[in-house]
Amino acid sequence: MSPTRVFLVDDSAVVRQVLQAALAQDPGIEIVGSAQDPIFAWQRIQGNWPDVLIVDIEMPRMDGISFLRKIMAEHPMPVIICSSLAESGTQFAIDALAAGAVQIITKPQSGVKDFLQRDAQSFIQAVKGAARARIRPAPSLPHNAVAQAPSALLSQRSTEKVIAIGTSTGGTQALEFVLSHLPATLPGIVIVQHMPEKFTAAFAARLNTVSALEVREARDGDRVLSGRALIAPGGKHTRLVRSGAQFQVQVFDGPMVKHHRPSVDVLFRSVAEVGGRNAWGVIMTGMGDDGAQGLQAMHQAGARTLAQDEESCVVFGMPKEAIRLGGVDDILPLAQIPLRLIQLAG
């Protein structure tokens, strides 16, 4: 197989040099060039497109997020943001994910050289994962399918059913699309999106601005209500529990499951146990197999289960494994998932 071709964009010559040396440890990666700012980078990569771009945020002449948006508009490709500004769920990180970044890597404010050398394998795995991503323009729905703003009463109703959604790589954009096209009349939603600690609160706040749903980071004991979407906090597991006739979430510490915390499998298995036929499960774009066994458990418990199709996924790993296990009722392109959930709600 041909090596993954990588282009580096960072205004620090030291960062470019050390990162190039770190990635060169893997014979499956080829550094095809570097640039100190996006304007120069754009000139260099024209007609010789790399497989993966690694881009800083704070650079002269054009910032990295503006460059990312330009790339996605004119020649979509996998982009990894590597910046000290993208730490702890800052708006920079959320903006980068919304603009289409495949992954965020936070550089420390000091000791960058040591960090890059020490975490070389993490960078190598990030590049290899990004190279498998397939970047496409966001789908669209007819104007009359877009969700309308909720009434104040709708978001306070107890929900008799529950929707569980799990996703990973590429999921930030997929979730934004799905949630922005759902009405507030739908049953309550609980979501696991693989994200680092402190990123999920800002991500949920962003989704809350584009959706008719009330979207926020889950807190231990939160009720699952009609018109509300709860996103599992990074660094914690989230599961569904019953309190009488009501659904609630438990947010708790615990070991990683399938290399993740939060884990989609943890959520889906709990939904299978307490939701059964009163639940719908959705697994979307993501690397690996987290959630596949949990969705199978939901399917066996009588839940209706959906998977995003390969063509619309950034990475088809999680849905592919769920389909292989036989736990999926419907395989749908991303553009049809909101419509199907609305149909299921009657």
What value does the mean pLDDT take over residues 261-284?
A: 97
Q: How far apart are the first and last CA of the chain?
A: 49
Q: What is the pTM of this model?
A: 0.86
Q: What is the DSSP string of 230-267?
A: EEPPTTSEEEEEEETTEEEEEEE----BTTBSS-HHHH
Measured distance CA(24)–CA(81) in Å, rounded: 19
Residue 198 DSSP one-character state: T
- Catalytic one of 51, 181, 194, 226: 194
- Catalytic one of 290, 299, 309, 312: 290
CB 237 within 8 A of CB 224: no
The pLDDT tens digits for 116-136 are 888 888 899 999 989 989 887
- Catalytic one of 34, 83, 168, 312: 168
What is the structure's pLDDT at 156? 52
**Which distant-in-sequence residues (6+ apart) come within 8 Å of 253 by Cβ?**
236, 237
Do you know the residue count of the chain? 346
The pLDDT tens digits for 226-267 are 999 999 999 999 999 998 889 999 999 999 999 999 999 999
> Residue 130: which region, alpha, beta or left (left: phi > 0; alpha: psi -120 to 50)?
alpha
- Report whether pLDDT(154) > 50: no
CB 298 within 8 A of CB 164: yes
Three-state SS for 11-24 is: CCHHHHHHHHHHHC
Tokens 């993490």 belong to: 122
What domains, with CATH codes, occur in the chain?
4-131 (3.40.50.2300), 143-344 (3.40.50.180)
Measured distance CA(41)–CA(33) in Å, rounded: 9
Neighbours of 11 (CB within 10 A): 16
What value does the mean pLDDT take over residues 281-290?
A: 96
Measured distance CA(188)–CA(185) in Å, rounded: 9
CA atoms in the 13 A half-sphere facing the CB of 215: 25
What would the two tokens of residue 139 be?
A: 């789908």
Question: 194 an active-site residue?
Answer: yes
- Report whether pLDDT(153) > 50: no
Measured distance CA(156)–CA(171) in Å, rounded: 27
Segment (H or E) for 29: strand 29-35
What would the two tokens of residue 276 be?
A: 């059964």
Question: 168 an active-site residue?
Answer: yes
The pLDDT tens digits for 51-109 are 999 999 999 999 999 999 999 999 999 999 998 887 655 788 888 888 899 988 888 77
- Report whether pLDDT(141) > 80: no
Question: 312 an active-site residue?
Answer: no
Measured distance CA(336)–CA(331) in Å, rounded: 10
What is the structure's pLDDT at 150? 46
